[in-house]
Amino acid sequence: MTPGAWKRSRDLFWSPRKGWPEGPTLTIADERVLRLHPKLKRAIRGELITLKAGESAKSLRTLEKLTKRALTMPRKVTLIAVGGGTIGDLATVFAHVFKRGVKKLIHLPTTLLAAVDSSVGGKGAINVAGAKNVLGVFHAADECWLWPEVFTTLTEAQRREGRIEAVKMVITLDRKTWAEWVWGLPDDAQIIRVARALKNAVVDRDPYEQTGERAVLNFGHTFGHVIESLSGFRVRHGEAVGLGMLYAIDEGIRRGITPQNLRWELEGVLPVKRARLQQWLAPKYAARVKALLAADKKAAWILLESPGRVRVVPM
């Protein structure tokens, strides 16, 4: 099979006792995570490249740096990405292009967002000339290692980002689980399990974004991206998506597509405050909002008809 062709990754519970894979390995790791988790650092074998996480890591410069460091490594290397979504996205691109595709890609997600979302589905991308995710690949990971202890050093704000993405998947894809979650979110282990299963099921049906099914995963992202841009990326992606979901519910109600009660249900569950949405709806932003929506490459509203049922409406 072509390296990185779509298949679900094998999800395994990992702990430092389980060690590292045999054979040549290249680990790309978030330097902060290794500082916070010396046990993890000690378990790593083979070549190790540490990077500062964040959008700036998703760059051509970092790709070049990785290439120079890995130059003498064989193509049949196992690449392990240890970090959140930025390290994972970068490593996925590198796995795809390094000597035309490495032997094996393993994700060890260290943020809740990476565990529920970015380490599932095979997408990787870097940012160029200020444009987010403009160079990217589809390259499915072979394995995903889940180590619960790594999440203990996340802040509450970082956890919220993962929970928001998980809420997005459940409200758009799974009516039955939504009926449970409206009473309160389960623990993080269950959130990860449910979200990964739901996202995998969507990607199974549309792995390379050809049928439009994957569009459901963009619920809340249309206005969420507007908020990220308006705030100069000070509002983090997860919170922006949460606010974007509230906006999408309002838009759906305005158009008579979304029932009113979903607004109360979502507000009760989402760990974001509606007041934070209001500020981005101020008249002073109206012209920029219009321009940003017009420039959005995905240019459609993903609206909820009911839990588990969405409608894609052109803007």
224 binds ligand NAD (CB under 6 A): no
d(CA 151, CA 128) in angstroms, rounded, equals 30
| 251, 224 contact by CB (below 8 A) | no
Closest-CA residue to 179 (of 257, 262, 284):
262
Cβ partners under 8 Å of residue 235, min gap 6: 227, 228, 243, 276
Q: Considering only residues 256-315, where is the footprint of ligand NAD by CB under 6 A?
A: none
Closer by beta carbon to ligand NAD, 27 or else 118: 118
User: What does R_g of the chain's alpha carbons equal in angstroms?
Assistant: 19
Question: Does residue 241 bind ligand NAD (CB under 6 A)?
Answer: no
Burial class (CB in 10 A: 0-12, 13-18, 19+), 215: middle
Binds ligand NAD by CB under 6 A, chosen from 144, 154, 171, 182: 154
Tell whether residue 114 is a contact of ligand NAD (CB under 6 A): yes
Binding flag, residue 207, ligand NAD (CB under 6 A): no
Regarding 85 and contact with ligand NAD (CB under 6 A), the answer is yes
User: Closest CB to ligand NAD among 104 and 225?
Assistant: 225
- C-alpha closest to that of 182 among 310, 308, 311, 312: 308
Choose which of 178, 237, 243, 280 interacts with ligand NAD (CB under 6 A). Answer: 237
DSSP string covering 70-111: HTTS-SS-EEEEEESHHHHHHHHHHHHHGGGS-SEEEEEE-S
Closest-CB residue for ligand NAD?
85
Q: How many CB atoms lie within 10 A of CB 51?
A: 20
- Are the C-beta atoms of 50 and 29 separated by less than 8 Å? yes
Min dist. Cβ of residue 284 to ligand NAD (A)? 28
Stretch near ligand NAD under the rule CB under 6 A, chosen from 40-48, 70-78, 120-128, 222-230: 120-128
Q: Near ligand NAD by CB under 6 A, which window of 108-116, 246-254, 259-267, 290-298?
A: 108-116
Among 44, 50, 78, 83, binds ligand NAD (CB under 6 A): 83
Q: Give yes or no for residue 188 binding ligand NAD (CB under 6 A).
A: no
Does residue 84 touch ligand NAD according to CB under 6 A?
Answer: yes
Least distance from ligand NAD to the Cβ atom of residue 287, Å: 26
Burial of 232 (0-12, 13-18, 19+ CB in 10 A): exposed
CB atoms within 10 A of CB 96: 20
> Which CB sits closer to ligand NAD, 117 or 174?
117
Q: Which amino acid is at 104?
A: K
Minimum CB separation of residue 282 from ligand NAD in Å reads: 26
Among 66, 80, 87, 191, binds ligand NAD (CB under 6 A): 87
Least separation in angstroms between CB 55 and ligand NAD: 6
> How far apart are alpha carbons 211 and 215 in whole angstroms?
9
Least separation in angstroms between residue 9's CB and ligand NAD is 13
Half-sphere exposure of 72 (CA within 13 A, CB side): 1
Q: Which residues bind ligand NAD (CB under 6 A)?
A: 30, 32-33, 36, 53-55, 58, 83-87, 89, 110-111, 113-114, 117-118, 121, 123-124, 133, 150-151, 153-154, 158, 161, 237
